[in-house]
Chain A
Amino acid sequence: DADVTQTPRNRITKTGKRIMLECSQTKGHDRMYWYRQDPGLGLRLIYYSFDVKDINKGEISDGYSVSRQAQAKFSLSLESAIPNQTALYFCATSDFTGGAEDTQYFGPGTRLTVL
């Protein structure tokens, strides 16, 4: 979805390096999420944010940190990258309406390789 952009799209780095993945959205949604996807494991939630002042850990937050700089921006950092963090990373947004409708809109993904 072009309304959710991720940079970079591909990144190769070395063990121990600090890496930041950025996500921007123009949908005006309050909620933003970071997932990682590994072959055969589906998507796993790393962190999520319901508004600028709210940050929550997901299923696999160890080794990651996030920053919600503005409603439209949510960054994911790997403070000291390790090879098992090699994966496809997705950012998503949603707009909570209080009911059943909480459709998530995903970015195109960032392929990260840690050597």
Chain B
Amino acid sequence: LAKTTQPISMDSYEGQEVNITCSHNNIATNDYITWYQQFPSQGPRFIIQGYKTKVTNEVASLFIPADRKSSTLSLPRVSLSDTAVYYCLTISSGSARQLTFGSGTQLTVLP
């Protein structure tokens, strides 16, 4: 089971692009990389998932280098409402899925 490591916190300003990197050195061949967002007093919410290269959806992009030992969540033009904790985790594609969230990155967007 891959263990993920993320920065504890990051600050940014409104309108900037924010990149949060996660390290997962022992990721397994079939593991996918998933990112969740959590606001206070709420459960985490799915943002994006990928396996390799780049994935983009309406809220974020996920960049995964060829060695897959890290991944970067990119949030374009953040706003105050993007202040939250962001978690990366790896998930195996096999039937016996094990899931462990990392400790998360607290992103604070300043005006």
A interface list, Cβ under 8 A from B: 1, 4, 33, 35, 40-45, 48, 50, 56, 58-59, 90, 92, 96, 99-109
Give B53-111 interface residues, CB cut-off 8 Å to A. Answer: 87, 91, 93, 95-104
What are the residues of chain A within 8 A of B96 when measuring CB–CB? 56
| Interface residue count on the B side (C-beta < 8 Å) | 24
Query: Can you name 12 extra interface pairs (CB under 8 A) apart from A4-B43, A109-B41?
Result: A35-B101, A41-B103, A43-B87, A43-B101, A44-B101, A45-B98, A45-B100, A96-B95, A100-B32, A104-B44, A104-B46, A109-B43
Summed over the interface, the residue pairs from A and B with CB atoms below 8 Å come to a total of: 60
Q: How far, in angstroms, from A77 to B45 measured CA to CA in the complex?
A: 25
B interface list, Cβ under 8 A from A: 32, 34, 36, 41-46, 49, 51, 87, 91, 93, 95-104
CB-defined A-B contacts under 8 Å, sample of 24: A1-B45, A41-B103, A42-B87, A43-B87, A45-B98, A45-B99, A45-B100, A48-B97, A56-B96, A58-B99, A90-B43, A92-B43, A99-B93, A100-B32, A101-B49, A102-B32, A102-B91, A104-B46, A104-B99, A105-B46, A106-B43, A108-B41, A108-B43, A109-B41
Q: Closest CB of chain A to B20's CB: distance in Å?
A: 14
Report which of A1, A42, A96, A100 forms a contact with B104, defined as CB distance below 8 A. A42
Q: How far, in angstroms, from A50 to B98 measured CA to CA in the complex?
A: 12
What are the residues of chain B within 8 A of A41 when measuring CB–CB? 103
What are the residues of chain A within 8 A of B51 when measuring CB–CB? 100
Of all chain B residues, which has the CB nearest A103?
A: B46
